[in-house]
C-alpha cells in the first residue's frame, strides 16, 4: 500500500527548512514586487517613447554595488563552521551585449569583473598566537578579486520601461586568504543566480535593483571544500551605446 502521508522524519525536515528560511528574503521579494508595480502605475504612455525595447547589438557598461547581510542555509544545509557574523560585499563592473529579443524576452550576454570583494568576519589562522593543535584562528575581513567571463541575463517585458529580469553566471575568485575557513583554498570557483527589476531612466540608461545567490566553492580540488554562500542584494546602473 502506498503511503501518501509524509513520514515523521520528512515532516520534521520540511519544518526545519521553513524555520531556517530567511524572512528578509520574503520581505525583499514583496518590496521588489511592490516597487515594480508602483513604477508600472506611474508610467505615462503619452509622455514616454513608444518602445523601451533594448536595441539588438547594443553594448552596455554597468557598475554595481552589492551587500550580503546573511549567509543562506536553505540550499546548502547546515555548515561545519561558524556562520555567525559573516557578511559579504562587492563592487563589480560589467560589459554586456544585447543578443536580441524573441517574443517576450530580451537576451543579454554579460562579462563581469569584481575588483573589490570583501568577506567580513572571515575565519583565518592567527599568526600571532602561540603554536597549538589545532591552530588558533581569528576573524578578520578578507579581500578578494573575482571575474565571471560568462553570464546571461533574461529580460522580460522588453517594450516596457519597467523590466523584470533573471540572471546567472559563473567564474573564478582569488582571495588574499582562504574563504571561508583555513584549510580551504584562496582560489575558488564562483556561481550565482538571481533576478531583479530594471527601470529605464532614458533610452540608454537604466537603474537596476536585484538579488543574487552567490556561491563560492573549490570544487573539491582542495583538502576540504566547505563552500560559502551569500545573499547579495544590489543596486546598479547600466549605460547603453544605442
Q: Answer yes or no: is 217 within a domain.
A: yes
The pLDDT tens digits for 191-242 are 999 999 999 999 899 999 999 999 999 888 888 888 889 999 999 999 999 8
Q: What is the pLDDT of residue 184?
A: 87
In this structure, of 38-47, 103-112, 218-227, the range with the lowest mean pLDDT score is 38-47
Number of Cα atoms under 13 Å in the Cβ half of residue 30: 4
Q: Is residue 41 predicted with pLDDT exceeding 60?
A: no
1 within a domain of the structure (yes/no): no
Does the residue 102 lie in any domain?
yes
Q: For residue 43, is it within any domain?
A: yes
CA torsion sign for 7, 12, 13, 14 is: positive
Which residues make Cβ contacts (< 8 Å) with residue 172, sequence separation at least 6?
Answer: 146, 147, 187, 188, 189, 190
Q: Is the pLDDT of residue 21 over 80?
A: no
For residue 33, which phi and psi values (nearest 5 degrees)? -60, -45
Q: Is residue 96 part of a domain?
A: yes
In which domain, by residue range, is 137 found? 8-240
Tell me, yes or no, whether 3 lies in a domain: no
In this prediction, residue 5 carries a pLDDT of 45
Number of structural domains the chain divides into: 1
The predicted model scores a pTM of 0.76
Backbone phi and psi for residue 89, each to the nearest 5 degrees, phi listed first: -135, 155
Report the CATH number at residue 134: 2.40.160.20
Residue 94 located in a structural domain: yes
**Does residue 203 fall inside a structural domain?**
yes
Amino acid at each position: 500500500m502506498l503511503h501518501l502521508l509524509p513520514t515523521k522524519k520528512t515532516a520534521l525536515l520540511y519544518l526545519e527548512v521553513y524555520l531556517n528560511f530567511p524572512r528578509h528574503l520574503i520581505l525583499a521579494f514583496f518590496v521588489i514586487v511592490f516597487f515594480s508595480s508602483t513604477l508600472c502605475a506611474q508610467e505615462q504612455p503619452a509622455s514616454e517613447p513608444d518602445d523601451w525595447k533594448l536595441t539588438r547589438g547594443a553594448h552596455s557598461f554597468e557598475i554595481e554595488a552589492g551587500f550580503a547581510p546573511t549567509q543562506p542555509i536553505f540550499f546548502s544545509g547546515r555548515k561545519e563552521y561558524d556562520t555567525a557574523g559573516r557578511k559579504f560585499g562587492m563592487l563589480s563592473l560589467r560589459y554586456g551585449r544585447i543578443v536580441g529579443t524573441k517574443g517576450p524576452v530580451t537576451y543579454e550576454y554579460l562579462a563581469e569583473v569584481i575588483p573589490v570583494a570583501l568577506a567580513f568576519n572571515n575565519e583565518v589562522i592567527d599568526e600571532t598566537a602561540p603554536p597549538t593543535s589545532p591552530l588558533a584562528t581569528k576573524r578578520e575581513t578578507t579581500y578578494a578579486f573575482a571575474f565571471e567571463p560568462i553570464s546571461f541575463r533574461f529580460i522580460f517585458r522588453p517594450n516596457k520601461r519597467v523590466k523584470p529580469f533573471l540572471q546567472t553566471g559563473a567564474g573564478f575568485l582569488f582571495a588574499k586568504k582562504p574563504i571561508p575557513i583555513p584549510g580551504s583554498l584562496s582560489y575558488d570557483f564562483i556561481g550565482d543566480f538571481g533576478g531583479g527589476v530594471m527601470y529605464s531612466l532614458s533610452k540608454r540608461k537604466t537603474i537596476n535593483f536585484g538579488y543574487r545567490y552567490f556561491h563560492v566553492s573549490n570544487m573539491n580540488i582542495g583538502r576540504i571544500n566547505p563552500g560559502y554562500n551569500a545573499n547579495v542584494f544590489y543596486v546598479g546602473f547600466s549605460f547603453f551605446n544605442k
